[in-house]
Amino acid sequence: MSQYSPNPQIAVLDTGGQYTHLIARKVRELGVYAEVLASETPAAELSRFHGVIISGGPASVYEAGSPTIDPALLTSGVPVLGICYGIQLISHLLDGNVAKGDRGEYGVATLELTAADTLIEGVLNNRQVWMSHRDTVTAAPSGFHVFARTGTCAVAAMSNPEKKQYGVQFHPEVVHTPEGTKILSNFLFKICCCQKDWNPRSRVPAIEERIREVTAGRKVFFFVSGGVDSTVAYTLCLKALGDDRVHGAYVDTGLMRDGETEFVQGIFASLGAKSFHVEDARTRFLDALAGVTEPERKRHIIGELFVEVQETILQSGHYLDVDWILGQGTIYPDTIESGGTSKADLIKTHHNRVAGIQKLIDAKRIVEPLSSFYKDEVREAGRELGLPAELLDRHPFPGPGLAIRCLCSEADFELKQDYDGWVLPVHSVGVQGDSRSYRAALAIDTLDHAAATRLTNERLDVNRIVGLTAARVPLASMKVHRSELNAPRLARLRKADSIVRSMSLASGFEKQVWQFPVVLIPVGDAVNQDSVVLRPIDSVDGMTAQSVLMPPELLRQMCEALLAVDGICAVFYDLTHKPPGTIEWE
């Protein structure tokens, strides 16, 4: 361990959950250092820890080959807390029972406390918790008592205090479980008897130390986006190595927001970056993406083309010599949602993890200072570095740019009406029970989050609910149009995004949300063949998110301005939390 990393007191066993490292981060925020280990780590190796937390995961415990733990852990005397898949695994390995539920439970639920327990001391009753599961514990093991439930889940929390074994079906590690920090604190300090040994602030010296270790005297070349992550990573390398060892380039792909290139140039000028230039690759990217409709192919084309552009630039400046390596601002959600842990289900394909980048990683010619950090931690590092709030308070923006917010269709499709609303055959990515889904959206005629949550829990054919807020024509007159990624559609999306950003900023709404994607979908009538989806969400780190409603008058004015844009037929409002819908649509 380095001077910045004490001996870990808590082990988080990774069963492939999307929130595995979020658990470890929450433990660290409580002042206790945690380490993430493989779920099958032998019990003998876990005996040095004060406690063990078993993460959630996408598998079913009763299926062959599903992640497991060393059963001896449950007889070792080490305190254990199972979360989501973890509670199911404890039940399965003992004499409890786990079965597929009648319906899934994704997003917000209300926790009813039915008995006292050390794990919930000081926790208020009937508070919100965050769920993401379909399987459920139908019978607790012998010696366990059940002390909480929800409207859908009879065994929402259970324990065997004598053996110091606990389980919760919900996710206490996410921000959308308000009492979650208290529950984790009870486990750490009242059950595991941990001592505070970790300060979650002042991490910059440790990151700089790691940069110097990884670079080992080599120089670093950055391809920066102008977002928080890449700029903080660049600045960290600048501080750790000096300006003569850090060079940067910004690639204008033609997929960026209005005014983005000018903003980036201004930021890096203010940092005093001596070696920084803009590479104009707009034509190259748009030509490569012409005619492409499939979202995964989009990401792969963008990722591989980034590598090609990188190699061209690097070769032109001799940056491919052995004394140079590549720097990136990849943060942890980019890797965890790309199948970056041993058992994590693929949720999205990140452009920093395509084959070309992976070759550089395998060759150990890459430094990613923030790859173990979350967005809020990155901002904290930026504040320590003295970066301006103008940059740090920016909403996250995806590396592939507007390309993944401009949805396409390979053919025309009719909308389908049923008893709940209209099924839009425009598929988007979701995350349900820690697994990836790729399903249609359902349009309803109300902005009701409760209805949206109920519908995504009940229906298997959709993973996203949108409310129709304004339209030129009725939904019955619309259809999905064959469409591709091209300059006119990107210009339309860029204009819509600019309208939304300017109105959100002027009204103060931008400060009320963590991110506000604007999505273009090929739904409309014969004249105006596209529609806009508004996706304002609240989050801390992007691992979970809640859809946020804007003030009615602002929404009315925004819809009026958007419908004045040529080619836009309607405005929809994404009511879907994460889970079951990812923040981005692709």
Say how many residues make up the chain.
586
pLDDT at 433: 57
pLDDT at 434: 58
pLDDT in tens, 169-195: 999 998 889 999 999 999 999 999 999
pLDDT at 517 over 80: yes
The CATH topology of domain 10-191 is: Rossmann fold (3.40.50)
What is the C-alpha to C-alpha distance for residues 101 and 134, in angstroms, rounded to an integer? 5
pLDDT at 281 over 50: yes
Q: Rounded to an integer, what is the distance from CA 166 to the centroid of its chain?
A: 27
pLDDT at 333: 60
Domain 204-402, CATH: 3.40.50.620
pLDDT at 351: 47
Q: Which class does domain 406-574 fall in? A: alpha beta
Nearest C-alpha neighbor of 55 from the set 426, 342, 288, 250: 342
Q: Could you list the active site residues?
A: 84, 171, 173
pLDDT at 583: 93
- pLDDT band for 465, please (50, 70, 90 cuts): very high
CB 15 within 8 A of CB 39: yes
pLDDT at 390 over 50: yes
Mean pLDDT of the chain: 89
pLDDT at 403: 93
pLDDT in tens, 78-124: 999 999 999 999 999 999 999 887 666 777 899 999 999 999 999 99
- Exposure string of 460-472, with b = 16+ CB inside 10 Å and e = fewer, is eebbbbbbbbbbb
pLDDT at 346 over 80: no
Q: Given this chain, do its domains 10-191 and 204-402 carry the same CATH topology?
A: yes
- pLDDT band for 354, please (50, 70, 90 cuts): very low
pLDDT at 66 over 60: yes
pLDDT at 2: 40
User: Which residue has 């009813």 as its token pair?
Assistant: 112
- % pLDDT > 90, the chain: 60
Half-sphere exposure of 369 (CA within 13 A, CB side): 35
Mean pLDDT of 551-574: 98
pLDDT at 337 over 60: no
- pLDDT band for 303, please (50, 70, 90 cuts): confident
- pLDDT band for 573, please (50, 70, 90 cuts): very high
pLDDT at 347: 42
pLDDT at 413: 95
Mean pLDDT of 403-428: 94
What is the C-alpha to C-alpha distance for residues 303 and 350, in angstroms, rounded to an integer? 8
Nearest C-alpha neighbor of 370 from the set 46, 95, 43, 25: 25
More confident site: 451 or 17: 451
- pLDDT band for 345, please (50, 70, 90 cuts): low
pLDDT in tens, 317-328: 777 778 888 898
For residue 99, what are its two tokens?
A: 């079965």
Mean pLDDT of 551-579: 97
Nearest C-alpha neighbor of 518 from the set 502, 501, 506, 530: 501
pLDDT at 284: 94
DSSP string, 304-372: HHHHHHHHHHHHHTTTTSTTEEEE----HHHHHTTT-STTPPP----GGGSHHHHHHHHTT-EE-TTTT
Q: What is the CA radius of gyration of the chain?
A: 24
pLDDT at 84: 94
pLDDT at 411 over 60: yes
Tell me, what amino acid is at 289?
A: L
Q: Which residues fall within 8 angstroms of residue 365, CB to CB, at 6 or more apart? A: 324, 325, 326
What is the C-alpha to C-alpha distance for residues 40 and 71, in angstroms, rounded to an integer? 9
Residue-range domain boundaries for the chain: 10-191, 204-402, 406-574
More confident site: 397 or 187: 187
pLDDT in tens, 418-452: 999 999 999 888 876 556 788 999 999 999 999 99
pLDDT at 277 over 60: yes
pLDDT at 350 over 80: no
Cα 211–Cα 217–Cα 220 angle in degrees, nearest 5: 60
Name the pTM for this structure. Answer: 0.70
- pLDDT band for 339, please (50, 70, 90 cuts): very low
pLDDT in tens, 248-271: 999 999 999 999 999 888 888 888
pLDDT at 17 over 50: yes
Tell me, what amino acid is at 221?
A: F
